[in-house]
Amino acid sequence: MAHWREEYSAALAARDRREKANVAILNACTPSRDSCVWSVIFRWFLFLTDKSSIATDTQLADRTGRIATAVKSAQSSTPTESHNEIPHSLVPDPKKQAVVSSGLSLQDALAAARTDLSEAQRSRSELQDRLTRTTAELEKLRKRSSQDSRRIGALEKEVAQLQLRLKDRDEELKGKAKLLDDFQDELASLNLQLNMAEERSNRLQKENQELVDRWMARMGKEAEAMNEASRFS
């Protein structure tokens, strides 16, 4: 909102500077009918200058200067009354010459005003086209921003759901990890018991083998003794 206000204030300040810069030209005009017409045309130039672009402002200023010079020349070219006696047929009528010069200058001013009006209209058309394109681009950006906002909202919801699922999965993994640790502890305990059972089995087998060996040795000795006794009888 502050952007167009700044542009409007800058345009008013530029117009005031241009009007103050051309005050000398307005004051140079004599208070005659031609100068009043020139003042109206010049103020019309200032109005067109406010509506045109910077390039058009420069052209209008140059043409305004040329028109002002032409008007001054036309007004200064009006001959004064001479005290010398010159035949009336050899001296041109000052009123007719002033009317002709004033008519030419007004025609030039009118042509310049029409040209400047055409340029101002062309500049306005260009500005209108730029405004239309800029407005369309702004609407596109607004629609895109609205779509992006909806998309961002959907993505935020999806992210929240994924974060919740990830949290649940983390809890599940923690439970499974604890179960695995318990299973590994139980497996280690069973392995320890198995090792102890194997050691006991090996010890019992060794003791059993020793008993068998001792019994076999004893039986052998008894058999030999019986054989010896039967031989002597």
Task: Please tell me the predicted confidence (pLDDT) of residue 200.
Answer: 93
Please report the sign of the dihedral spanned by the C-alpha atoms of residue 40, residue 44, residue 50, residue 53.
Answer: negative
Please say whether the beta carbons of 74 and 98 come within 8 A.
yes
Q: What are phi and psi of 31, to 5 degrees?
A: -75, 60
User: What confidence score (pLDDT) does residue 196 get?
Assistant: 95
Position 114 scores a pLDDT of: 83
Report pLDDT for 67: 53
Please count the helices (runs of H) and the strands (runs of E) in the chain: 5, 0
Pairwise CA distance, residues 1 & 108, whole Å: 43
Question: What six digits make up the tokens of 23?
Answer: 């005050």
Q: What is the DSSP letter of 220?
A: H
User: Looking at residue 107, what is its pLDDT?
Assistant: 79
Residue 86 burial (C-beta neighbours within 10 Å; 0-12, 13-18, 19+): exposed
Q: Print pLDDT tens along the chain (233 aa).
A: 456 667 667 777 777 777 666 555 555 554 444 444 555 555 665 555 554 444 444 454 455 555 555 545 544 544 443 334 334 434 445 544 444 455 556 777 778 888 888 888 888 889 989 999 999 999 988 888 888 888 898 999 999 999 999 999 999 999 999 999 998 999 999 999 999 999 999 999 999 999 999 999 899 888 888 888 887 66
How many Å is the Cα radius of gyration of the chain? 60
Residues 5-14 pLDDT 10s:
676 677 777 7
**Residue 112 and residue 63 in contact, taking contact as beta carbons nearer than 8 Å:** yes
Report the amino acid identity of residue 110.
L
How do the residues of the chain divide into helix, strand and coil, expressed in percent and rounded to 5?
Answer: 90, 0, 10
CA distance 70 to 167: 88
Q: Which residues contact 230 (CB under 8 A, 6 or more apart)?
A: none
Per-residue confidence (pLDDT) for residue 50, from 0 to 100: 52
